[in-house]
Structure 1
Amino acid sequence: MPNLSRRGALRLTAGMATLGTLGLTGCGRDGDTAAAKASATPIDASPATGTVTVWAAQGDADVLEKVIKPFKAANPDVTVKFTLLPNADYYTKLQAAIAAGKGPDVAQFFPESQAQFLGQSVLQPVPDGLVDPGSFFKSLWDAGVVDDVAYTVPWYAYTYALVYRADLAKKAGVGAPRTWDDMVPFLKALQRASAGHGLGADIGWDIFNGQDVAMYAWQAGGSLLSSDGKWTLDSPAMADALRYNASFFTSGTADTAGPTFLDAQPYFVSGKTAMMITGPWVVGQLDTAAKKDGWTASHVATAPLPAGSSGSVSFSAGGTWGVLADSGNSEASWKFVRYLTKPSTQVAQYKAYSSLPAVISAWGDPAIAGQPLLDAFLAQLKKTRAFPQVSTWQQVATRLGKEMEAVAKGRQTAEKAASNVQAYAASLGTGAK
């Protein structure tokens, strides 16, 4: 797995994207959907030609020059020019380039924070037959669809699951929690087995915590938006989600004072904490944190998220690709995107950077299927939902994080916190026209 946590990098990206929504809010949403569909013409199988300019955020895209060597060999008359930008600046610079009419042909996006780009004034609809939508995890595909028009194609995927100290669970004689009711008892058992705290909870109290409570609300049977596009954040399910999160702290199995995000892995390795609710990249970083090869294999296990009253649900995240509306070489650009979704390419990307495939069939390759600690993430990716594809979601998620903090620290009831975030979200609207 890469050394840089994607979640850590995306903290910066998401913050910049929130600021950037002002420039592109609601792009294309009041446009003609029929016209958008009609422009999604098929792309043939002939070799790509000309120049394709590609912008991406540093990280998973760092290895693309290596990954696309077979594409370049099969398409000798195409030139692919990459521009890799720091995560913290990526969306801001991309938005500025688009506004100035100087954007690339192809741009990378993040499905959890791409809503402001989804529309025909910014992106071309995905051509008919380019890819099979059913080959991807459904929520990742859904994240790029507005008014039944797809604007992005999934590239890599991740979600959250449980990563816990298997050695301490064995010592305590307990198995991974399957339901909400199992969670605190499991964490207390880990503490009896010598962990300082059962859960290393993220205490950033920011947009990422808001995403956490959103998935808890889904697990409790709630929704974030109604079918007619109205915020539904003051529901009993949201209050249940806020109480569930607070229970980790009020039970003494998590600490509102730490660890911070960057301390999470050292705490876990040292036994100060014994479980994380986190992404798959952590699995490949723990040997380094422990300074011992093989430590992870002998100390760590993973499991899907415990189920609430409506099951085990998480969110989907990762990377996607889109072709800009004013691309000068649309045909070659879509052929490039299509190549990146081939199962063999997805496996090559995994081998080069440990980016987990968005194409489900690629998970069957021995390079991935042979990694048992990834099984829980595959199971969870099949039970995910996309965050609301509206331009104000990140602001709302950030406010949710702050309301979570107040409930966790006993300063506010769950019902009041849900009411507060609903009022805030209603004041913002969804950004759609």
Structure 2
Amino acid sequence: MRQRFVAAAACAALALSVAAGCGRDSSGGNETAKAVGEGKASGEITVWAMGTEGEKLAAFAKAFSTENPDAKVTVTAVPWESAGQKLSAAIAAKQTPDVSMIGTTMEGGLAKTGALDPTPGDLFQKETFFPGAWDTTVVAGTSYGVPWYVETRGIYYRTDLAAKAGFPDGPKTWDDLTAMAKAMQAKAGAKWGFFIQPGKTGSWQSVLPFGWSNGADIAAGGKYTFDTPEMTEALRYYQSFFTGGLSPKDLPQGALEPAFVRGQIGAFMSGPWHVGILKDQGGKDFTVAPMPTGKSSTSFIGGSNLAVFKDAKNRDAAWKFIAWLSRPEVQVKWYQTVSDLPAVQSAWTDPALTGDKILQVFGEQLKSAKAPPAYPTWDQVAAVFDTEVEKVCVGGADPGAALKAVQQQADTIGTGV
């Protein structure tokens, strides 16, 4: 969780750099993607990667060099805390690596600088990837890069408490989720029926799935569209878990997992990384359900992309390296190395993933999961959204008024496209 919040901060830093100008124009957004030459890769390929990926990729990439003996992959591990600033400085100085890992919400800001190379259509087809993941690479109609790995959200719940509450198979609908949370308190002894974020940093990742599942769209016609009946109804439903005493308004950091393992929290919303965390803390009686259905069951899709810079010294080899990382069998091996979920849909047919029931829930959810628009200003607008959500969840503010405030500030900030 901390890594994702740090990544969000890096994206925000990048957005500020873009707003200030990085010494590049954005004319590259509409140019046709150039083909990549045939044959094996050669020469040095410089790569920047963050987090665990930055620590593990160099050793993993040795298999690429085995297939391409004349190519060498040099990986620089970049801390998420400084990623945005470091990328902006490299772009301004025209001293970029050939390839960089890019958080999905960073894509719009980087593309705005004109520094990214359009995705070569001869190597990549969008149908290969989960639709929501591919959409994160598209800015103003042009794809810049490809999805590397993905993650999404589901509903973790205690199977023993859910059975006592009368929901042995978990919640299927919004009404089910509310009823299960109430019954977990009344019948199963949980202190809190369902934990969701009360408007802290990154809470938009929890709120927007309810909006999307209710038919809301936060961007249309080249502008932000938060102030809609569908989004208002979704935020009011989200607020009901706090007004109804089903979710805590202030849970100390690090308290969620032990409270869930002890049965004090019956359910919570999170991503696949929580499976390992819960097991490490002794959690046994739990599983994951898809997002409950409103008009649909739609979750958030996140993860990271890989992109090549226009100033790359070894462009062709850089794209060939990304193409190698996008092979289904390589995606599976990468998952087995760092637990990153494959962005390539066909990789999910491998026994390494099909044998895990919880992973299969996330795999199904990924097929319809969505991401926020790849606008350069998204991180600024998301910060406004988080602030207003906290007023709704903690302070009891009216959801409609909160969304009007978000819309007003979003209109002022603009999309940046």
TM-score interval, normalised by the smaller of the two chains: over 0.9
Are the aligned partners of 1:67 and 1:345 in contact in 2 as well (CA < 8 Å)?
Answer: no
Match of 2:298 in 1: 313
1: CA distance, partners of 2:59 / 2:357: 27
Are the aligned partners of 2:29 and 2:111 in contact in 1 as well (CA < 8 Å)?
Answer: no
Shift of 1:410: 4.5
Shift of 1:235: 0.9
Match of 2:236 in 1: 243
Match of 1:217 in 2: 211
2: CA distance, partners of 1:413 / 1:33: 40
Identify which of 325, 347, 352 aligns with 1:340: 325
Shift of 1:171: 2.7
Q: List runs of 5+ in structure 2 lacking aligned partners.
A: none
2: CA distance, partners of 1:50 / 1:88: 30
2: CA distance, partners of 1:410 / 1:328: 53
2: CA distance, partners of 1:80 / 1:410: 51
Shift of 1:120: 7.4
Aligned CA RMSD, in angstroms, stands at 1.8
| AA in 1 matched with 2:173 | T
Shift of 1:57: 0.5
Match of 2:287 in 1: 301
| AA in 2 matched with 1:343 | P
- Identity across aligned pairs (percent)? 36
Shift of 1:431: 1.3
| AA in 1 matched with 2:143 | A
What are the equivalent positions in structure 2 for 1:170-189 lying under 5 Å apart? 170-174=163-167, 175-189=169-183
Match of 1:87 in 2: 80
Residue 142 (1) aligns with residue 127 (2): no
Match of 1:391 in 2: 376
Alpha carbons of structure 1 residues 14 and 186: separation in structure 2 relative to 1, 3 Å: same
Shift of 1:102: 1.5
2: CA distance, partners of 1:259 / 1:241: 26
Match of 2:280 in 1: 288
| AA in 1 matched with 2:184 | L
Identify which of 6, 22, 27 aligns with 2:16: 22
Residue 379 (1) aligns with residue 371 (2): no
Is 359-368 or 19-28 further displaced after alignment?
Answer: 19-28
What SS class does the counterpart of residue 66 from structure 1 fall into? helix
Match of 1:31 in 2: 27
| AA in 2 matched with 1:282 | H
Residue 421 (1) aligns with residue 398 (2): no
Are the aligned partners of 1:161 and 1:277 in contact in 2 as well (CA < 8 Å)?
Answer: yes
Shift of 1:30: 5.1
What SS class does the counterpart of residue 285 from structure 1 fall into? helix
Are the aligned partners of 2:139 and 2:375 in contact in 1 as well (CA < 8 Å)?
Answer: no
Match of 1:3 in 2: none
2: CA distance, partners of 1:301 / 1:33: 43
Deviation sequence 1:198-218 (CA, Å, 0-9, x none): 112234x23411232222221
Match of 2:261 in 1: 269
Shift of 1:221: 1.2
Match of 2:307 in 1: 322
What are the equivalent positions in structure 2 for 1:220-231 lying under 5 Å apart? 220-226=214-220, 228-231=221-224
Are the aligned partners of 1:267 and 1:273 in contact in 2 as well (CA < 8 Å)?
Answer: yes
Identify which of 257, 261, 278 aligns with 2:270: 278
| AA in 1 matched with 2:212 | W
Alpha carbons of structure 1 residues 311 and 17: separation in structure 2 relative to 1, 3 Å: same
Deviation sequence 1:246-265 (CA, Å, 0-9, x none): 111111111102153x3221
